[in-house]
């Protein structure tokens, strides 16, 4: 591998992937380095809400405007990652209707369409919404799949010449006379040490960006804010339900693919907890209590799992106390800010604005490299999104393989045509809950940079359904082992990591049917598959 690049991007979240793609499209030689898999940080640990911006309209006009602009762009360029569900903001009797007027005016001022509708109409649009609602506003919310979005950006970046290294940890920023000139990394799978050089290094590490910046002697005042969410077993709602009040905990319910997500909480956590997020009992209680105000059906819907992410909130530079927190995009040129050349940090922002963050970053990179090429990411479709959304509706056509064909099209857009379904063996299901075939697993392994079962889950939804891997994990391990040619021991330890990761999310909500499912999971893998020497449930 050539060790000289124009740009090294550290961080494989949506932002890093977006920067890599933007650079590649502008002909800049880019290398992306990620210590785990893509979309493992905050990118993969949020609602998956395609914000209309309405949530921010009252308090943060700038964010609201960014959101609605990006919303419209993503619908176009990332159509296979986005679902146009629409959204409603409901007012409950205890909220009153005072906020609603201000809310609608602020939306309009930010360029967001917001239409007050009759409570009865709201219940027709979304029958699962709390029937006690006294008012509702329709907004252009949607849902977006962060794993697909990141994977599509990575795919396109690679198509245009970018290099991507996952499972590579940055050990050190290489500095020469006040300038960052490259990185020293360790391949965390093989243990091999490598060094790469580039004119510019971009820090796109979310909350972990503080530590990367510190290696260059740069201080960024960040505040880790944990947000916890719950995943429900099926699509309870088909329209995003928000609460029409000042933004608070657990007031957004988003349908995403075959499930529904409620969130979030917001708690400040110490930095040393960022690598090991957990959801507390109080957070689960709060999410359920507030969530059932949006949608009473949540009280009797199976909860699949709980997860939490860390928002990379950045304190303003002129406020050392850290109280004045911005939720907007933070782009730091450390040459002007700190006198460190060749080093840029992009942070803050949100999943919704990942493309804009990448655009700003790449604009700055271009300026520094003296390249005059315009950004194309607002017009150029992501791979998978080039055909119209309507192919989703017709895929399969209700025939024998309709469920898996439709599911694959939903996940990969027009790239689903690359999945081999020519024989019964390729069409055989690995994951029954989410209809992932052998052909799709092989496609993901070949094209989407899958290293292990957990990566495979992010690319295909394998193991994300109601059984949480009970039945599919072993089958997937077998297909993967064949594709990768790995040993029995390797496959087993991969399987163990996968099952343990599934159980971690289930354990926070392990009662009722989820506990029964967990029992079956343990029974199968602890007992039948002889993973018993090391407890799966620990």
Partner 1 sequence: MEKQYSQNNFEQCTKCTVCTVYCPVAAVNPLYAGPKQAGPDSERLRMKGAEYYDQNLSLCLNCKRCEVACPSDVRIGDIIQSARIKYSTKKPGLREFTLANTDLVGSVATLVSPVVNATLGLKPVRHIVEGVMNIDHRRIFPKYAFGTFEGRMKKRRKEQAAFSKQVAYFHGCYVNYNNPPLGEAFVKVLNALGYGVQLLDKEKCCGVALISNGFVNQAKKQAQVNLKSIREAQNKGLKVVATSSTCTFTLRDEYKHLLEIENDDVRDNIDLAVRFIYNLLTDGDVKLNFNPDAPRIKVAYHSACHMERMGWTCYSIELLKLIPSVELVCLESQCCGIAGTYGFKKENYETSQAIGDKLFKAIEESGCDYVSTDCETCKWQIEMSTTKKVLHPIEILANSLS
Under the rule (CB under 8 A), what is the footprint of partner 1? 233-235, 238, 257-258, 297, 300-302, 392-400, 402-403, 406-407, 410, 429, 432-433, 435, 465-467, 470-471, 513, 516-517, 520
Of 362, 365, 454, which is closest to residue 17 (Cα–Cα)?
362
Give the nearest distance from C-beta 302 to partner 1 in angstroms. 4
Give the nearest distance from C-beta 427 to partner 1 in angstroms. 11
d(CA 183, CA 201): 8
How many other β-carbons are positioned within 10 Å of the β-carbon of residue 388?
10
The DSSP secondary structure of 53-119, one letter per residue, reads SHHHHTT-HHHHHHHHHHHHHHHHHTTTTEE---EEEEE-TTT-SHHHHHHHHHHHHTT---EEE-H
How many other β-carbons are positioned within 10 Å of the β-carbon of residue 504?
18
Q: Which is nearer to partner 1, 186 or 238 (CB)?
A: 238
Q: Which is nearer to partner 1, 302 or 418 (CB)?
A: 302
Retrieve residue 102's tokens: 């201000």
Q: Which is nearer to partner 1, 353 or 470 (CB)?
A: 470
Q: Which is nearer to partner 1, 171 or 519 (CB)?
A: 519
Give the nearest distance from C-beta 503 to partner 1 in angstroms. 15
d(CA 168, CA 186): 5
- Do the bridges between strand 240-243 and strand 87-91 make them parallel or antiparallel, or are there none, so unpaired? parallel
d(CA 509, CA 299): 13
Note the Cα 106 to chain centre separation in Å: 28
Q: Contacts from 523-532 at CB under 8 Å and sequence distance 24+?
A: 524/470, 524/471, 524/474, 525/473, 525/474, 525/495, 525/496, 525/499, 529/474, 529/495, 531/492, 531/495, 531/496, 531/499
Is residue 123 a contact partner of residue 166, using CB atoms and an 8 Å limit? Answer: no
3 class by beta-carbon count within 10 Å (0-12 exposed, 13-18 middle, 19+ buried): exposed
Give the nearest distance from C-beta 407 to partner 1 in angstroms. 7
Q: Which is nearer to partner 1, 49 or 314 (CB)?
A: 49
d(CA 346, CA 340): 15
Give the nearest distance from C-beta 522 to partner 1 in angstroms. 12
Give the nearest distance from C-beta 434 to partner 1 in angstroms. 8
Give the nearest distance from C-beta 424 to partner 1 in angstroms. 8
Q: Which is nearer to partner 1, 304 or 308 (CB)?
A: 304
Is residue 500 a contact partner of residue 485, using CB atoms and an 8 Å limit? Answer: no
Give the nearest distance from C-beta 450 to partner 1 in angstroms. 23
Give the nearest distance from C-beta 430 to partner 1 in angstroms. 13
Q: Which is nearer to partner 1, 395 or 448 (CB)?
A: 395
- Do the bridges between strand 303-315 and strand 222-232 make them parallel or antiparallel, or are there none, so unpaired? antiparallel
With vertex at residue 77, the alpha carbon angle to CA 39 and CA 398, rounded to the nearest 5 degrees, is 85
Which residues lie across from 305 on neighbouring strands?
A: 231
Give the nearest distance from C-beta 466 to partner 1 in angstroms. 7
Q: Which is nearer to partner 1, 181 or 429 (CB)?
A: 429
d(CA 472, CA 24): 36
Q: Which is nearer to partner 1, 329 or 467 (CB)?
A: 467
Which residues lie across from 387 on neighbouring strands?
A: none
Q: Which is nearer to partner 1, 273 or 519 (CB)?
A: 519
CB within 8 Å of 11: residues ≥ 6 apart: 32, 33, 34, 41, 202, 203, 204, 205, 206, 208, 209
Specify the length of the chain in residues.
538
Q: Which is nearer to partner 1, 299 or 487 (CB)?
A: 299
Give the nearest distance from C-beta 231 to partner 1 in angstroms. 13
Signed CA dihedral, 283, 285, 288, 290: sign only: negative
Q: Which is nearer to partner 1, 185 or 467 (CB)?
A: 467
Give the nearest distance from C-beta 85 to partner 1 in angstroms. 11
Q: Which is nearer to partner 1, 10 or 476 (CB)?
A: 476
Give the nearest distance from C-beta 473 to partner 1 in angstroms. 12
Q: Which is nearer to partner 1, 28 or 464 (CB)?
A: 464
In which order are the strands placed within the sheet that holds 49-50?
A: 49-50, 142-144, 82-83
- Residue for token digits 């990379």? 312
Signed CA dihedral, 470, 475, 479, 484: sign only: positive
């Amino acid at each position: 591998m050539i060790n000289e690049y124009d740009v090294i991007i550290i961080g494989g979240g949506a932002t890093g992937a977006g920067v890599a793609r933007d650079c590649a499209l502008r002909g800049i030689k880019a290398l992306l380095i990620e210590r785990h898999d893509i979309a493992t940080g905050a990118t993969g640990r949020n609602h998956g809400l395609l914000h209309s911006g309405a949530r921010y309209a009252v308090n943060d006009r700038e964010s609201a405007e960014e959101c609605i602009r990006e919303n419209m762009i993503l619908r176009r360029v990332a159509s296979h990652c986005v679902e146009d569900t629409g959204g409603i903001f409901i007012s409950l009797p205890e909220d009153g209707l005072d906020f609603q007027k201000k809310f609608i005016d602020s939306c309009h001022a930010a360029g967001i369409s917001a239409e007050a509708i009759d409570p009865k109409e709201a219940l027709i649009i979304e029958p699962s919404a709390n029937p006690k609602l006294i008012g509702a506003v329709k907004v252009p919310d949607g849902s977006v799949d962060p794993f697909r979005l990141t994977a599509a950006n990575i795919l396109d970046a690679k198509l245009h010449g970018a290099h991507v290294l996952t499972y590579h940890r940055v050990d050190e920023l290489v500095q020469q006379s006040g300038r960052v000139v490259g990185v020293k990394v360790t391949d965390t799978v093989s243990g091999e040490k490598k060094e790469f050089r580039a004119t510019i290094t971009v820090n796109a590490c979310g909350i972990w960006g503080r530590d990367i910046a510190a290696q260059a002697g740069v201080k960024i005042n960040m505040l880790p804010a944990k947000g916890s969410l719950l995943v429900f077993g099926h699509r309870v709602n088909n329209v995003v339900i928000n609460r029409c009040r000042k933004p608070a905990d657990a007031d957004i319910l988003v349908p995403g693919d075959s499930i529904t997500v409620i969130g979030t909480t917001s708690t400040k956590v110490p930095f040393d907890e960022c690598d090991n997020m957990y959801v507390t009992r109080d957070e689960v209680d709060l999410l359920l209590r507030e969530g059932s105000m949006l949608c009473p059906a949540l009280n009797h819907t199976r909860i699949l799992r709980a997860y939490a992410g860390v928002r990379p909130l950045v304190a303003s530079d002129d406020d050392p106390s850290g109280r004045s927190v911005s939720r907007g995009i933070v782009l730091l040129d450390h040459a002007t800010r700190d006198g460190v050349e060749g080093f840029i940090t992009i942070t803050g922002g949100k999943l919704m604005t990942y493309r804009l963050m990448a655009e700003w970053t790449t604009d700055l990179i271009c300026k520094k490299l003296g390249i005059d090429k315009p950004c194309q990411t607002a017009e150029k479709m992501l791979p998978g999104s080039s055909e119209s959304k309507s192919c989703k509706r017709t895929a399969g056509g209700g025939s024998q393989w309709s469920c898996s064909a439709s599911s694959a099209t939903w996940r990969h857009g027009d790239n689903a045509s690359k999945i081999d379904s020519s024989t019964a063996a390729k069409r055989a299901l690995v994951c029954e809950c989410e209809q992932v075939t052998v052909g799709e697993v092989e496609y993901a392994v070949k094209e989407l940079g899958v290293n292990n079962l957990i990566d495979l889950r992010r690319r295909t939804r394998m193991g994300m359904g109601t059984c949480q891997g009970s039945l599919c994990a072993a089958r997937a391990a077998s297909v993967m082992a064949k594709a990768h040619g790995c040993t029995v021991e390797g496959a087993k330890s991969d399987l163990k990591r996968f099952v343990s990761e599934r159980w971690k999310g289930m354990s926070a909500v392990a009662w009722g049917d989820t506990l029964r499912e967990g029992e079956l999971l343990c029974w199968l893998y602890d007992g039948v598959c002889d993973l018993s020497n090391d407890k799966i449930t620990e």
